[in-house]
Structure 1
Amino acid sequence: MAYTIEKREKGYLLFTITRSEKRNAINYEVMDGLREAVKRAAESDIKALIITGEGSQAFCSGGDLSVFHNLHTKEEAYPMLSMMANILYSLLTLPIPTIALINGTVIGGGCELAAACDFRLARKGIKAGFIQGKQAITTGWGGGTILAEKLSASDAMQLLMEAELKEAEDLKKLGFFNDLFETDSLQACEAFMEKMLAIDGSVLQSYKKVWIRKWEQSLLSERIEEEVQNCSRLWESDAHHRYVKTFVSKKTLNKE
């Protein structure tokens, strides 16, 4: 299995990507797992959903290009991009608190996954970045549109347009990371959630719906769809195909 889903005694659901050998990159199986986690997190006895990655090297390195490298045209790329965008929108609008527990480096689509969560806790010293621009594409799972809801316009634009890895401390100053930790990641997350988990679940859901209504009224879903369409067009560009070819070649050489 590429993931695990656990219901914990304190009333939250823990989703873990278990592909540490692939830096917890997202493939179709992980997408299925995220969809299942969102479905189970909607059950009445779940008060929060935590998403993390296996090990300490990476939270999530984005989409697994060794899987998606055979997608060449916009018509081939669109279904994959749209599928993940729909998953992230359902995660964003899940009517309970959601937390990205960032145990290691997070790049590309991994940052989009983190952005879709309500809170982001990161280990001190890690780096993160929306590096899609260096792959000659944009965010394609809705992450850019979601980031624009979470940060100021100038900060969000800078993160997206520079396409650089940033230090965790700098991202906390921008407000992308809510808190940093040094101790055991799950213990740190439970400490962060302690006061929320003590509140009645119906109260948490009522507050979350304040933001869900805002996103629905601002046509966030339609804006995410435009992002997906834009990325699918860039996906078939020669520049992106050159990047993917180079990436896959390096992976092949490393295996030999």
Structure 2
Amino acid sequence: MNYNNIVYQEEGGVVVITINRPNKLNALNRLTIEELRSAIEYADSNSETKVIIITGSGEKAFVAGADISEFANFSVTQGVELAAKGQETLFDYIENLSTPVIAAINGFALGGGLELAMACHFRVASDNAKMGLPEVSLGVIPGYGGTQRLPQLIGKGRAMELIMTSGMIDANQALNYGLVNHVTTQEELLLLCKKIATKIMRNSSVAIGAAIKAINANYKDGINGFDVEIEAFGKSFGTADFKEGTSAFLEKRKADFPGE
């Protein structure tokens, strides 16, 4: 796979996708969003892929925001289309993916960069990371799900303050808020993410996908998350992974999940 703005690497069931626009601090433009979607779709279609990690190139930024030069002169209609297409193409797609996606935040994650990280299933940050949604300082609001996902992750009051002030928080404050799961050094960031990925890979990919769907259901309007959980729980009993998992437990051996 050849890409202009990302680097795709796979090793032992873990795919690492690196946003590679260092001269732009890895800012998101339309091509990068399209390439990310293509790469994630390709990874997800491969049965060997168990975990996807998204990170940024260099030491300064995960993604420092959207590429403002692309939309500075947009009309109202174009603005609506930009947000709707971006959410459908990438951000909502990642959130609802059955393959676990980890954001490895190395440096600045601002605006669309933080929105990308929040769309991932969870986040790990380097100790030099800075996060925020500064859109109101440009006369606009977050458009890739930031006003929805940030309150879900850190609470309404904290999200209101962070968005209204255009402020940034550091990695430790993000950890305290629950925005990230772990903080480590930049040198250890990918190693820690891969270590977590290894733990995930020991388990049933089918069950993990069902759990992601059930967890997400709690945050969707008009959907009863408990009902989704009950249905997914029941369906688990018909999978080959359930048969292997329970057999392995009873036989006191390590499970070898077929992923079916």
- The answer to whether the 8 A contact 2:14-2:197 is kept is no
Query: Is residue 112–residue 144 contact of structure 1 (8 Å, CA) maintained in 2?
Result: no
Amino acid in structure 1 at the alignment position of 2:34: D
Per the TM alignment, residue 217 of structure 1 is displaced from its structure 2 partner at its CA by 4.7
Structure 1 unaligned spans of 5+:
220-256
Q: Displacement, 1:111?
A: 0.8
Paired residue secondary structure (1:96): coil
Q: Does the residue aligned with 2:65 lie in a helix, a strand or coil?
A: coil
With over 3 angstroms needed to count, the CA separation of the structure-2 counterparts of 1:41 and 1:135, relative to structure 1, is same
Q: Is 1:158 matched with 2:136? A: no
- Equivalent of residue 92 in structure 2, options 71, 89, 93: 89
Displacement of 1:202:
1.5
CA distance in 2, matches of 1:57, 1:35: 23
2:109 matched residue in structure 1: 106
Segment of structure 1 superposing worse, 110-119 or 37-46: 37-46
Instruction: Report the alpha carbon displacement of residue 216 of structure 1 after superposing the two structures with TM.
Output: 4.1
**In 2, Cα distance between equivalents of 1:186 and 1:23:** 19
What is the alpha-carbon distance in structure 2 between the residues aligned to residue 146 and residue 127 of structure 1?
17
Match for residue 230 of structure 2?
none
CA distance in 2, matches of 1:218, 1:101: 32
- Cα 1:38–1:215 change in 2 (3 A) is farther
- Secondary structure in structure 2 of the residue aligned to 1:171: helix
99-108 or 141-150: bigger deviation: 141-150
2:69 corresponds to 1:66:
yes
Does structure 1 conserve the Cα–Cα contact (< 8 Å) formed by 2:59 and 2:107? yes
Aligned to 2:257: none
CA distance in 2 between partners of 1:105 and 1:70 (Å): 25
5+ residue gaps in structure 2? 224-260
Displacement of 1:145 in angstroms is: 0.9
| Bigger relative contact order, structure 1 or 2 (CA pairs below 8 A, ≥6 apart) | 1
Distance in 2 separating the partners of 1:118 and 1:66: 29
Displacement of 1:143 after TM fit? Answer: 1.9
SS of structure 2 residue aligned to 1:42: helix
Query: Residue 195 of structure 2: which of 188, 191, 196 is its match?
Result: 191
How far apart, CA to CA, are the structure 1 residues paired with 2:169 and 2:216? 29
- 2:29 — aligned with what? 27
| Further displaced range: 44-53 or 151-160 | 151-160
| Corresponding residue pairs, total | 217
- Please state how far the C-alpha of 1:106 moved relative to its aligned partner: 1.3
CA deviations 1:35-64 (Å, max 9, x no partner) are: 113312332322121111111111001111
Q: Any conservation in 1 of the 2:18–2:54 contact (CA below 8 Å)?
A: yes
1:176-219 residue CA offsets vs partner (Å, 9 max, x unmatched): 01101113322121123331122121121121121233344547
CA RMSD, Structure 1 to Structure 2 (Å): 1.7
Choose between structure 1 and 2: higher helix proportion.
1
- Quick one: which amino acid aligns to residue 29 of structure 1? L
Q: 2:177 aligned with 1:174, yes or no? A: yes
- 2:130 aligns with 127
SS at match of 2:27: coil
> What CA distance in whole angstroms lies between the structure 2 residues aligned with 1:147 and 1:126?
17
- Aligned-partner Cα distance in 1 for 2:221–2:202: 30
C-alpha displacement of 1:113: 0.6
- Residues of 1 paired with 2:51 and 2:114: CA distance? 20
Seq. identity, % = 28
The answer for the alignment partner of 2:234 in structure 1 is: none
Q: 1:218 to 1:37 in 2, by over 3 A?
A: farther
1:148 matched to 2:151:
yes
Task: Give, in whole Å, the separation in 2 of the partners of 1:48 and 1:57.
Answer: 24
Distance in 1, Cα, partners of 2:142 & 2:222: 20
Looking at structure 2, the residues matched to 130 and 59 of structure 1 have their Cα atoms a distance apart, in angstroms, of 14
CA offset digits 1:94-114 (Å, max 9, x no partner): 112211101111111111111
CA shift in 2, pair 1:78/1:23, >3 Å: same
